[in-house]
Amino acid sequence: MTAPARFPVRTRILHWLTAMLVFSTLFIGFVLVNSTGSYASLRGVHMTLGVLILAIVVIRAANRFTHRAPRLPDTVGWIEHTLAVMSELTLYALILAQPLVGWAMVSAAGQPVVVVGSLHLPRIAPFNADLFFVLRQTHSMLAYALVALIAAHVSAVLLHTLTLRDGMLSRMAFAFRRADTPANSADLRMLAPAEMHAAIREHNNAQDTGRHGRARRHR
């Protein structure tokens, strides 16, 4: 089995940046529900992160839909492939809708969305208490839906990576290799145990031959 191709570097950077921002924003949002003393400061950070997510997810969506994703591993059947595509589209929609609903919710409360300092976003919803209540409930439901979908996404990736060992996680991971590591060492984990041991012995024999040759030249 060959290792699956990776996404482009820019796609991987946008993916992990989005993940960190979404996790941070969800965590702060859940803390806000039970917060009292630090509510104002947490709310400001929450809004700033939401604006960043909105900007990055637009960039990421444009990048994703203009560049073809690498082929999925052979362990993914057509039903799972369809579910993966649908869940990806749903995840994009939720991450895009959540900050927009939050923006509208703050506008309906008659308050500005503060990006940073004195930089505010314009209102996108009229001042209305009933509308604020509906948007607040929607914002909460979208947050729980995001948590559930992210959990399903992470579980599926771990299932393929740890159980099926098809290198699913490596499609979005960054590879780091030492300078003295053989060029094909990234593929060793994809080999059968016997083939892996043979490859390791071949590499060690090559290193021993090189050391013996250098030792004879120094004599």
Q: Can you give the pLDDT of all 219 residues of the chain as single tens digits? A: 555 678 888 999 999 999 999 999 999 888 887 766 677 788 888 999 999 999 999 999 888 888 888 888 888 888 988 998 899 899 999 999 999 999 999 999 998 888 877 788 999 999 999 999 999 999 999 999 999 999 999 999 998 888 888 888 888 888 755 544 444 444 444 444 455 455 556 656 655 555 555 545 555
Residue whose C-alpha is closest to residue 110's, from 139, 132, 130? 132
Q: Where are the domains of the chain?
A: 9-71+80-171, 185-218
Burial of 204 (0-12, 13-18, 19+ CB in 10 A): exposed
Q: Which fold has domain 9-71+80-171?
A: Fumarate Reductase Cytochrome B subunit (1.20.950)
pTM for the whole structure: 0.73
- Phi first, then psi, for residue 88 (nearest 5°) are -65, -45
How big is the chain, counted in residues? 219
